[in-house]
Amino acid sequence: MNRTIRSLEVAAVAGTIAIGVPAVSTAANASSAVANASSAVANASSAVANASSAAASCSAAAAYYDAAPTSANLAMIRTAVYCLIDAERAKVGLRPLTRTASLESAAISHAAAAASIRWWTPGANSHNNPRTGSTPHSRITAAGYCPNPVSWAYAETTYTGWGGGGTPRAAVNWWVNVSTYGHRQIVLSPTLTDDGVGAAVGSANPAGGSGGGTYVVDFGRCQR
């Protein structure tokens, strides 16, 4: 299978700015407290709604955990990978990752290119496209993830398999339980907060047979 790439972090020192604010009346303070309470309730309701929506999507995606990608099921295959990753994180007490459109766009483009070019032979660098020269950094930043950050981090995992090994469950299991190249540490990172999943039909290894699938997950953390 394919090795994980370098995880890279760029950080800058953040300053603190103190701002003087005139005193406000008790009534104004009370109004502000009510507004803050209302906002907290709204945020809590939104979190519950999001959790319910994620649970519903994972319930539907469970039927695709052991399915190979096809042109008709790619969206559900990607959802299956998201759900399996979050399930592994939950086992060790970690929060689910936030599904992020820019990271997903970067991952989808790389998975599609890999399944088309098929350069993931043993020992090859599965993260750098040999035709375009793209790297995880160039793809993730081009997709618009975390512009002008105070600090940020990213990582990428890749997997391809076939003959029963091209499924979402096979990919996540390999990253978490089989690989010795640092994939587990990325998937179960307590500091990475976002992810985007790409999946493609067929194996990215030219030796791959039927039932193939190719997977890329881009992870990130963004402080702005």
pLDDT digits (tens, 9 = 90+) for 184-193: 999 999 999 9
More confident call, 14 vs 152: 152
3-state secondary structure 56-71: HHHHHHHHHCCCCCCC
Least confident of 19-23, 44-48, 213-217: 19-23
**Model confidence band, residue 55 (pLDDT cutoffs 50, 70, 90):** confident
Non-local (6+) Cβ contacts of 144 within 8 A are 102
**Model confidence band, residue 67 (pLDDT cutoffs 50, 70, 90):** very high
pLDDT in the model for residue 51:
52
Instruction: Pull the structure tokens for residue 118.
Output: 């098929």
Least confident of 6-20, 157-171, 200-214: 6-20
Residue 36 has pLDDT above 60, yes or no: no
pTM comes to 0.78
pLDDT in the model for residue 154:
98
pLDDT in the model for residue 53:
61
Instruction: Pull the structure tokens for residue 42.
Output: 């709204």
Residue 100 has pLDDT above 80, yes or no: yes
Contact 210, 162 (CB under 8 A): yes
